[in-house]
Amino acid sequence: MKIEHYDTATDLARCFALMRELRSKLTNEKQFIAQVQRQQAQGYRLAGLEQDGKPMALAGYRLLENFIHGQFCYVDDLVTVSEARGQGMGATLLNHLAVIAREYGCGQMVLDTAISNSGAQAFYQRVGYTALGLHFYRDLT
């Protein structure tokens, strides 16, 4: 298996179906590509673990800095193809991102998951993450 970064529209199109497994609101490949490109302008990167040229796991991330965490890597998205879950691909990607984050001087990895997603919470705890707070939202629509 090989870790890749997806930067071009052609590369991103190859990721659409898998990202849709995580983000069910995605319905249009061209809109997905356009949104990723907007997010790339904000520092978003999309990395993946490939097998035979097919993305098997994806992680969207940003290298950021704030007063809470200092320099850190924020993981926006993490998904593995459903038939390959439990085979260590997500952990491999997170470990790869940790290497990148350390190279850029980051001291922390940060991510969010839904309170109702107990499976993801158990996974993150297994791979060394600790829940330290709640993320609050206010709908402005």
- For 120-134, the pLDDT digits (tens) are 999 999 999 999 988
Classify residue 141: in a domain, yes or no.
no
Classify residue 132: in a domain, yes or no.
no
The pLDDT score that the predictor gives to residue 134 is 86
* Percentage of the chain lying above the pLDDT 70 cut: 100
> Quick one: which H or E segment has residue 36?
helix 29-40
Helix (H, G, I), strand (E, B) or coil at 92: helix
CATH number at residue 31: 3.40.630.30
Structure tokens of 108?
Answer: 């922390």
Domain count, the chain: 1
Q: pLDDT grade, residue 110 (50/70/90)?
A: very high
Classify residue 137: in a domain, yes or no.
no
The rounded distance, in Å, linking the Cα atoms of 4 and 138 is 35
Examine the pLDDT at 106 and tell me if it is beyond 80: yes
Chain-centroid distance, C-alpha 34: 17
Return all residues near 101 (Cβ < 8 A) that are at least 6 apart: 63, 72, 73, 108, 109
Classify residue 72: in a domain, yes or no.
yes
Range of the domain at 63: 2-126
Strands in 108-111's sheet, in edge-to-edge order, are 2-5, 45-51, 54-66, 70-80, 108-111
Classify residue 140: in a domain, yes or no.
no
pTM: predicted TM-score of the whole model, two decimal places: 0.93
Classify residue 101: in a domain, yes or no.
yes
Classify residue 7: in a domain, yes or no.
yes
- For 50-84, the pLDDT digits (tens) are 999 899 999 999 999 999 999 999 999 999 999 99
